[in-house]
Amino acid sequence: MAFTERDRTPDPRRMLRAYEAAATTLRLIADRPVPGPAARDVFVSHEALLMDYESPLTREDSRSRRAYAGSGHLLWAGERTREPEGRTSRSCPGSPTRSP
């Protein structure tokens, strides 16, 4: 894939295909027979690049009323998204916002 502005424009259809592929992969990993306990914990992590895609997957915990990410166990604000007052930094409060 080229790295042109057109190729890097968010594409909801491509995001849905990626989401479906990731969900299928996680199901295959979780369902894979392994010795020992029957259940396997699978954890998912990714950089929260596009908050317009992350926001609809955000849920509220019914007991604590705190928001949590439905798209992964650990979202982070990386080099491309870590503006201290930016939307991603506010949504990923544990992510560093300054260079070390």
Does 5 belong to an annotated binding site?
no
Q: Is 80 known to sit in a ligand binding site? A: yes
Rounded Cα gap, residues 57 and 10, in angstroms: 17
> What gap in Å lies between CA 60 and CA 78, rounded to an integer?
24
Kindly give the pairing relationship between strand 58-60 and strand 45-47. Answer: unpaired
Element (H, E) at 60: strand 58-60
Please report, in angstroms and rounded to a whole number, the separation of the first and last CA atoms in the chain: 32
**Helix, strand, or coil here: 77?**
coil
> Residues comprising the binding site?
79-80
> Residues comprising the binding site for phosphoenolpyruvate?
79-80
